[in-house]
Amino acid sequence: MGKFQKICTGVYQVGGGRFSRGDDCLVFLVDDQEQCALIDMGAGASVVQIFDNIQTAGFTWESIKYLIATHGHIDHIGGLPEMRRALPQAQVVAHRLELPAIEEGRPELTAADWYGVNYRPVKVDLVIDSEQTLPLGGLTLQCLHTPGHTRGSMSLFLEVDGQRVLFGQDIHGPFDKNWGSDLKAWKNSMEKLISLEADILCEGHFGVYSPASRVREYIESYLRRFVR
């Protein structure tokens, strides 16, 4: 039996944490009844479990319109090759600066060796250059370029039922020059995310935060830690 958590209207956690293997990032599903978007895919070994979780939450694989990679680290894209084969109708979405990781599989960018994963490169169907909106039924997902953790890191933003939901994967870092990490760019990105005044933050590894005051404090706590 699959496991999932409903976060708010149309937003679910379907992977990572207690819902799949420990090497997965947190995987989120956004739904507008007819269409879904999957935000990140985990490290790869949990694909069957994540699909089971999606079905248990009441959704079909065929309803998934987008497979969104927030960046090219293996704990976020390791499941992408298998999911891409299983979901031919879905578009793979990523920032242009993450193509060397996702489409070429460059190991210094994917960090695949850290997880013992043999990543098979995947073509990105919808390349984001800066900021772009993705229609999802009656909802709109905003893709925001938030570099710092990696050069092409993206965050997603959604307004649903009067709530502002931010998917800020890997706000906490870490940082490594081999991935193209840039603390100055990260600081600017975090300030951009704070300005959104999100009511709910779905972070990439450390859970879900609300209300808005907790979201702001979470992001600011890392700014205090890393920016002197």
Nearest partner of 79 among 110, 125, 34, judged by Cα = 110
Strand partners, 165: 158, 200
Chain centroid, CA 182 distance in Å: 19
Q: Tell me 26's DSSP state.
A: P
- 212 pLDDT exceeds 80? yes
- Those residues whose C-beta lies under 8 Å from the C-beta of residue 106, and which sit 6 or more positions away, are 100
Start-end of H helices in the chain: 47-56, 74-77, 80-86, 99-102, 107-110, 112-115, 183-195, 212-226
Q: Two tokens at 209?
A: 């935060």
Per-residue pLDDT tens digits for 137-178: 889 999 999 999 999 999 999 999 999 999 998 898 889 988
User: CA-based angle 20:2:153, to the nearest 5?
Assistant: 40
Task: Indicate whether this model's pTM tops 0.85.
Answer: yes
Residue 173: Cβ-neighbour burial (10 angstroms; 0-12, 13-18, 19+): middle
pLDDT band at 210 (very low <50, low <70, confident <90, very high): very high
Q: What is the distance in angstroms between the CA of the first residue and the CA of the last residue of the chain?
A: 47
Q: Kindly indicate the confidence band of residue 20, based on its pLDDT and cuts at 50, 70 and 90.
A: very high
Residues 6+ positions from 159 with CB-CB distance below 8 Å: 140, 165
pLDDT score at 36? 96
